[in-house]
Amino acid sequence: MTQASHENGRALFGLPRLFGTPLRWLSAAALLLLGTPSCDSPMGMPDAGVVDLAMSIDGASCTMCGGACVDLQSDAKNCGACGVSCSPAEMCMAGSCRGDAADLSSRADLSAAPDLSAAADLSVARDLGALPDLSALADLASADGGMMSPHHLCGATPPAGAKLAPPPPVYAGTCPMLVPGKNTIITSGGPRTFLLAVPTALDPMEKLPVVFLWHWLGGSADEFLRKGEVQAAVNSQRFLAILPEAKSDMLFKWPFDLGVTAMRQEQEYKFFDDMLACAAAQFRINNNCVSTAGVSAGAMFTDQLAAARSKYLASALSLSGGVGGVAKPWGKPMRKLPMMVLWGGMKDNCLGLVNFEVASKNLEAELTRDKHFFLECVHNCGHAEPPLDAPAMMSKYASLWNFVFDHPYWLTDGDSPYLRTGVPTDFPSWCAIGAGKSVPRTGVCPSKPGC
């Protein structure tokens, strides 16, 4: 792993500079009154190798190379750094030259045949009567645009009689025209902004899963987009990513803590409703595959949203989040959501103020009690970026998005294909089904914790 990725790790799961920012005026008494801050890192410095960081017109970051504003994550002539060119057989994905280009191009070709290699893996589960019949794979490809691999259940035809997701919320007004990059929408709390990541070579008939991504305390939507390799992920795995920007009218940016009023929390839920409504108005989305994921402070809000908007959500991913303590308790979801609960082990805390292992285990206890399915992942690297390696021609976090695609809304309560097939082999070895089942990772941690 490069030094740049090490720096990114500190950014993605880092710590606010409590004693080097305007927060330093907070006394211990004020901390007790306001709640314990989540542990995240502001991004005061550009990535390693970036000489001149600028902002493009749509709000996404770029780098000035030879007088031109380029995206180091995808520019084949400036891949990862200015002047680094990929060969003709390669494409630039997530800041790295990856090939071969012909194979990558076929992934964006809507006429290309879907990958059917894993269909046999579901044959045993289908025999048990819990999964739909995937034998008519050509029908699945034509029905869902041909881009979602049919062995992911979000790309499958729901079984007869399954409970499907309701229609998306309805926006009170006229939705703005959404564009890739920065967007502004008027919602109950006033104007709010978010980033939209749209797959390349999008066919009008392509049916897209939707994933909401809530950033950490010291971060931003743009930083999540870059550090999470989100554009590369939506291109290769074919989904729509919505990255809300925090309103920043509270200490923790997102309304999850005990000091937040129910009215303020409902404003954020309405922000979610409005973003989903307008995305559905402009794109052909898969209502049965809408998910939410957050990091640290964003994860703690995701855990609140999962309960409050289970009517629309098919799944949720809590990445160093949890409930209890400074955070509000787990809510009362109207249905049981499959979840991924990931944290950094016993040392996942910030200066002893917030213990994300305790908060994550609190969440697991609630999910166990209510009989939700969940995957436990313990990377044992503290409050740092999970040590994941990018699969060939995929983004680093591909397995997280695969979890979303494997858990559509129409699964019965408490069910998961993993109960029959096991955890997919492309997932980290330190992920397992159920509380206390993960075997925490051992070995060197490539990214330093934020605290």
Percentage above 90 pLDDT, the chain: 55
pLDDT, residue 310, reads 97
Average of per-residue pLDDT across 292-298? 96
Q: What SS3 class is residue 317?
A: strand
- Cα 160 to its chain centre, rounded Å, is 30
CB 36 within 8 A of CB 325: yes
HSE toward the beta carbon, residue 78, CA cutoff 13 A: 16
CA dihedral (319, 323, 327, 331) positive or negative: positive
Higher-pLDDT residue of 109, 328: 328
Q: Which domains does the chain have, with CATH numbers?
A: 3-51+146-433 (3.40.50.1820)
pLDDT digit string (tens) for 210-245?
A: 999 999 988 999 999 999 999 999 999 999 999 999
Higher-pLDDT residue of 121, 196: 196
Q: How is 183-203 classified by DSSP, letter by letter?
A: EEEEETTEEEEEEEE--TT--
- pTM passes above 0.85: no
Helices then strands, each counted (H, E), the chain: 12, 16
Check whether 129 has a pLDDT greater than 70.
Answer: no
pLDDT digit string (tens) for 28-79?
A: 333 333 333 334 433 332 333 333 333 333 334 456 665 566 677 777 777 7
